[in-house]
Structure 1
Amino acid sequence: MYRFSVTEPHPRRCILPFAAEPPQLADLRRAVKAELVGWGMSALTEEAQLITTELASNVIKHVGQGTAATLVLDAGTDQLRLELHDNSHKEPQSFHPTCEEESGRGLQLLAALSAAWGTTRTVAGKAVWCELPLALDESRRRIQRATTVMEAYGLAVGSPTARLTHRPVLEESVTSLILDLLHWLTAHGLDPDDILDRAQTHFEACSSSVTGPVLLP
């Protein structure tokens, strides 16, 4: 699956063209997960994957199997926006199907999961969009800041990718960054052990107050 991702400047944006066919759904979900993990937003993975499946399935059922479609992810400072573009002007199915109807149940789920949703006409057809809010707690803010730092660091050291999504690459890059910081602290006459102890103390205090899964897996 072709993927185009932009991480600088913010907000982050990812474009995922695909063919609206059942076998493509698993690839699409995996691509969404990889992108969100890379952005430090793994806590939204389950909801985003479910919404992606419903939006893509709606295209397959009501526009046509094999339709060319595009999923767009836009991450701002306080929300994640998902847009599913297709080449049909046909509006999504009703939110309130009868007991015998199956169409529309996916959009009921979409409404329940998202803070807002809607349909926008485009030159080529339409885009169905929804927005997931980002928790603005201290842990989430720190994760997002660290993600930005890691992307910039990956570029500075000539990493083959600025999006560090694979665990071995991530571990090696974080270790290298911490090592550089230790050298920087020493060069400025600071005690690395003291700084690390203070950071660990703050981390443990923050972790004890976290109620939801906001850390990278």
Structure 2
Amino acid sequence: MVQQACMSRKPWDLAFTAAPAEVSALRRIMRTHLGLWGLHEAVEAAQLCVSELVSNVITHVGPGTPTTLAVSMSGTYVRIEVHDPDTRALPTLLNAATDSESGRGMALVEAVADRWGVQLRADRKVVWCELATGLCSSDGHSGGARVTRVEAMLSLYEAAKLPRPAGPNRSPVSVVVAEATAVDAIADLLHWLRAHGCDPDEALDRAQIHFEAEVGLSADMVQSRR
């Protein structure tokens, strides 16, 4: 029986110097790490939060400030922390005018995050926010019903090693139904691969190579027997 695998999501942190040029790099790093964690749906919100929290340090503490980005799982939430050494410049949630060019950073974080806050420590402050993932556990998989179906399907594949015999009198309707089921199964498998941090396009390419090689081998064997 195939057991549902767990997704390892170990905490990580990155020290950097706060500067406008760093923001885009941090956004790319967030996309990469959350993709490896199988949390693609959380990427855009996480990128926005990182942008605003780091920009807050640049604006209110100053460019060149030694800063650290830390990302972890807090239960089923993605927790994003930005550490800086200034315990006096605290972020404030402002009701900025819609045409204001500043003061809207924490309002944006408030809008996309499920919760946020500030922790003051002896040598630094930590501004954090958390994003819901929809996971059942911190090491579970995202993807919803499609991924769940594939987990069950893999168990059935493992239990039933032999394919069902194809009868000579199968009706056209059953073939159409089988084809639709196969298409759904392939789509579900692609969702499963994505939820496990794999590249669906690469898997499709590899599957196509195997398929064409096997079909070509079968054709060669038929030709050699004639």
2:103 corresponds in structure 1 to 104
**After superposition, what is the alpha-carbon deviation per residue over 1:36-81, rounded to whole angstroms, capped at 9, x for unaligned?**
0111111111110111000000100000001000011112441101
Q: Name the SS of the counterpart of 1:131 in structure 2.
A: strand
1:73 aligned partner: 71
Query: In structure 2, how many angstroms separate the alpha carbons of the residues matched to 1:96 and 1:41?
Result: 31
Corresponding residue for residue 161 of structure 2: 191
Alignment of 1:50-61 (within 5 A): 50-61=48-59
Retained in 2: the 8 A contact 1:94–1:103?
A: no
- The 1:12/1:215 distance shift into structure 2, 3 A limit, reads closer
Q: Which has the higher contact order (CA 8 A, sep 6+)?
A: 2
Output the aligned Cα RMSD.
Answer: 3.9
Q: Secondary structure at the match of 1:85?
A: strand
State whether residues 10 and 76 of structure 1, in contact with CA within 8 Å, keep that contact through their aligned partners in structure 2.
no
- Following the alignment from structure 2 to structure 1, what is the Cα–Cα distance between the partners of residues 196 and 38? 8
The alpha carbon displacement at 1:9 in A equals: 10
2:120 maps to 1:121? yes
For the residue of structure 1 that corresponds to 2:122, the secondary structure is: coil
SS at match of 1:12: coil
Whole-Å Cα distance in 1 between the matches of residues 33 and 8 of structure 2?
14
Unaligned runs of 5+ in 2: 1-5, 144-153, 165-177, 200-226
Superposed displacement of residue 215, structure 1: 8.1
Q: Which residue number corresponds to residue 27 of structure 1?
A: 25
Contact 2:7 2:196 in 1 (8 A): no
Q: Can you list the C-alpha shifts for 1:153-188, whole angstroms capped at 9, x where unaligned?
A: xxxxxxxxxxxxxxxxxxxxxxxxxxxx9xxx5xxx
Contact 1:43-1:215 within 8 A present in 2 as well:
no
* SS of alignment partner, residue 18 of structure 1: strand
Distance 1:10 1:77, change over 3 A: farther
- After TM superposition, what 4+ stretches of structure 1 lie above 3 angstroms from structure 2? 8-11, 97-103, 140-144, 203-207, 213-217
Q: CA separation in 2, counterparts of 1:15 and 1:129? A: 13
For residue 3 of structure 1, what is the aligned residue in structure 2? none
CA distance in 2, matches of 1:101, 1:88: 25
2:14 aligned residue (13, 16, 20): 16
Distance 1:53 1:94, change over 3 A: same
Deviation of 1:136 (Å): 3.4
Q: Which amino acid aligns with 2:19?
A: E
Larger radius of gyration: 2
Q: Which residue of 2 aligns with 1:130?
A: 129
For residues 115-159 of structure 1, give each alpha carbon's deviation from its aligned partner in whole angstroms, at most 9, with x where no partner exists. 10100002222011001011137xx94448xxxxxxxxxxxxxxx
Secondary structure at 1:135's aligned position in 2?
coil
CA contact (8 A) 2:61 2:86 kept: yes
User: Partner letter of residue 69 of structure 1?
Assistant: T
| Identical aligned residues as a percent | 31
Q: Over residues 72-124 of structure 1, what are the superposed CA-to-partner deviations in whole Å (9 max), with x where a residue is unaligned?
A: 11124411010110011111134223567544201000001011010000222
What secondary structure sits across from 2:51 in the alignment?
helix
1:167-210 deviation per Cα after TM superposition (whole angstroms, max 9, x unaligned): xxxxxxxxxxxxxx9xxx5xxx951657xx9xx86x74995xx9
Q: Taking structure 1 as the reference length, what is the TM-score of the superposition?
A: 0.61
TM-score (norm 2): 0.59
Unaligned residue ranges in structure 1 (runs of 5+): 1-7, 145-180
